[in-house]
Structure 1
Amino acid sequence: MSEDLHARLKAYEGRAATTAGAGKDLVNEPMIRHWCEAMGDTNPAYTGPDAIAPPTMLQAWTMGGLSGHTGRSAAQDELFGLLDGAGFTSVVATDCEQEYLRPLRPGDRITFDAVIESVSERKTTKLGTGYFVTTRMDVRADGERAGTHRFRILKYAPAARQKYAPTGRAQLEPQAAKPEPHSKGRRPRPVINRDNAGFWEGVAGHRLLIQRCEGCGALRFPWLPGCNACGSAEWDTVEAGGQGTVYSYVVMHHPPFPAFDPPYAVGLIELAEGVRMVGDVVGVPYDKVRIGMPVQLEFLRVDEELELPVFRGLPGGAG
């Protein structure tokens, strides 16, 4: 059965996902500015009369928004429908790859085609068993090839997870099952890799470490393999003092998740050192959090294995 399904899935390789798609907007300075502000990217190449767009914005110019795009084919929907019908109903984005062929500049008109490039054999992961589907998008600027964007997802059937009965014997229950009453569950684990491992080592020692470029001295957060300002790959760290203010915030109401207790406030915190990071705002009611409110760094143990940096609203700062 699985071999027959895989053969049917492989038949979609090479079929068009989007044909003659067109960006809804020309490459433009406001979108570049918003992107750079959100990313904290101050590279001078992205401003001024000779500005280019950050290369990683490649896919942003192709997005269709809530109303979607014309030119979308039925092949991708058919492929996902086939997987859904076989029980692989969950989906998670796994990674993307981008290749840049020429800079994008304000005024460029973006067009693109997308193809279902590959469907993997059936794979078993920690999330469950399923198939990796890779879509390749070829992007053009004023008719000239500008870059390639590959996007890979996993369509999977959620794995069973272990729980322990009063006898101590391991039982299996579906991952999607509702938690037992009063069970808080566990927070999702942070993704730790070679680029950010030092940050999490610092958190384990109750230290909030910020990268500092050894080339130009610029501080940066989140941790990156190279400097946005000068491109240097050499860096060291400085320890944040822990003082900051709420630069922006959202109040999370849904979706419900066993490890969280909505509503709660999540802030974009501007540290005294000048960088910004995201963290829970604690110690004040969620509806009393305000932009500009002073906060102080704390480390919150959320379970037996994980501590996270959070920010406590200071007295008199809730407005």
Structure 2
Amino acid sequence: MPATVAGKGKDPVNLPMIRHWCEALGDTNPAYTGPDAIAPPAMLQAWTMGGLTGHTARTTAYDELLGLLDAAGCTAVVATDCEQEYLRPLRPGDELTFDTVIESVSDRKTTKLGAGYFVTTRTDIRTAGELAGTHRFRILKYAPARQKQPPPQHRRPRPVVNRDNAGFWAGVERHELLIQRCTDCRTLRFPWLPGCNACGCLDWDTVRAVGDGTVHSYVVMHHPPFPAFDPPYAVGLIELAEGVRIVSNVIGVPYDKVRIGMPVRLEFQRYDEELVLPVFRGVMG
């Protein structure tokens, strides 16, 4: 069944298009440059493409076939593969004509995407009446299979636990906020690091925070909304009594009442069976 009859390439084979193709693909084959240049064979389809305005030589056969498949419930489409056969090289100045036929429609097939039909078109490309190559293009027109959707997981994101911070998260699970302390210069550090950023020592122990702090800075989160969160809410940079700072939620007071310098008190809040996080309850004067 013909889909395109006596179509014409919109441009002759030309060196600028060859150059752009080779630059895009990083192809430095010398056969594609110079006075005796040929076009890369894989460009075969490029010379026949209709661009945004299409080709006037198209028939209605292909669209009618897709319409029939739509009516049969095969409303989705995916390209599956293409095959090209090269019979003679194309050179700058060659003007191309082509004909496209619907070569085959398969029996109904069942795939993971859904049940449908493979439709194959074949385009014969000629120059000066001589067959230069053939391009086959295959799609699957199918009825989407029903996918079992897992229930939405409105859970807070999990912290990234690694060998450098595992001790901190183990402490949080025990409702302890642990601060690293260098065993050499005794500098406290947070967040946890493999070594001291003051003296470079790799040895450390921990100090348990007493839990008192103040809001050093804060932001109120409005967007983007996530299912596990309920904006607007305040996120504070909390300066602990020990002198280090931690980012966490400020709870217990309206978000628009949080202020820099506000006293806060450490609490541990369980969000689900796996996740406990340190948060800070604001103390309003």
- TM-score (norm: length of structure 1): 0.47
Give the whole-Å Cα distance in 2 for the aligned partners of 1:100 and 1:164.
Answer: 48
Give the whole-Å Cα distance in 1 for the aligned partners of 2:54 and 2:138.
Answer: 20
SS at match of 1:92: strand
Match of 1:131 in 2: 117
Give the whole-Å Cα distance in 1 for the aligned partners of 2:148 and 2:139.
Answer: 25
Match of 2:13 in 1: 27
Give the whole-Å Cα distance in 2 for the aligned partners of 1:181 and 1:21.
Answer: 53
Match of 1:301 in 2: none
Matches within 5 A, 1:233-248: none
**RMSD (Å) for aligned C-alpha atoms:** 1.5
Shift of residue 164, structure 1, vs aligned partner: 4.0
Selected match of 2:44 from 33, 58, 65: 58
Structure 1: gaps (5+ residues): 1-14, 166-179, 184-319
Shift of residue 24, structure 1, vs aligned partner: 0.3
Give the whole-Å Cα distance in 1 for the aligned partners of 2:85 and 2:28.
Answer: 22
Give the whole-Å Cα distance in 1 for the aligned partners of 2:77 and 2:154.
Answer: 28
Shift of residue 153, structure 1, vs aligned partner: 0.3
Larger radius of gyration: 2
SS at match of 1:95: strand
Give the whole-Å Cα distance in 1 for the aligned partners of 2:124 and 2:60.
Answer: 18
Residues 104-140 of structure 1: CA deviation (Å, up to 9, x unaligned): 0000001000000000001111111110000000000
Matches within 5 A, 1:221-300: none
1:43 paired with 2:29, answer yes
- TM-score (norm: length of structure 2): 0.53
Residues 243-274 of structure 1: CA deviation (Å, up to 9, x unaligned): xxxxxxxxxxxxxxxxxxxxxxxxxxxxxxxx
1:119 paired with 2:105, answer yes
1:144 paired with 2:133, answer no
Match for 1:87: what amino acid? G
Residues 174-211 of structure 1: CA deviation (Å, up to 9, x unaligned): xxxxxx5979xxxxxxxxxxxxxxxxxxxxxxxxxxxx
Q: Percentage identity across aligned positions? A: 77
Give the whole-Å Cα distance in 2 for the aligned partners of 1:163 and 1:134.
Answer: 32
Give the whole-Å Cα distance in 1 for the aligned partners of 2:128 and 2:146.
Answer: 50
Give the whole-Å Cα distance in 1 for the aligned partners of 2:138 and 2:114.
Answer: 16
Residues 13-44 of structure 1: CA deviation (Å, up to 9, x unaligned): xx100000000000000000011111111111
Give the whole-Å Cα distance in 2 for the aligned partners of 1:134 and 1:53.
Answer: 26
Shift of residue 162, structure 1, vs aligned partner: 2.1
Give the whole-Å Cα distance in 1 for the aligned partners of 2:33 and 2:19.
Answer: 8
Match of 1:214 in 2: none
SS at match of 1:117: strand
Give the whole-Å Cα distance in 2 for the aligned partners of 1:107 and 1:49.
Answer: 12
Check 1:163–1:143 CA distance in 2 against 1; reply closer, same or farther (3 A cut): same
Give the whole-Å Cα distance in 1 for the aligned partners of 2:154 and 2:40.
Answer: 47
Give the whole-Å Cα distance in 1 for the aligned partners of 2:128 and 2:27.
Answer: 26
Shift of residue 163, structure 1, vs aligned partner: 3.1
Residues 77-111 of structure 1: CA deviation (Å, up to 9, x unaligned): 11000001111011111000000000000000010
Give the whole-Å Cα distance in 1 for the aligned partners of 2:124 and 2:67.
Answer: 25
Match of 2:78 in 1: 92
Aligned residues: 155
SS at match of 2:123: strand
1:106 paired with 2:116, answer no
Check 1:44–1:128 CA distance in 2 against 1; reply closer, same or farther (3 A cut): same
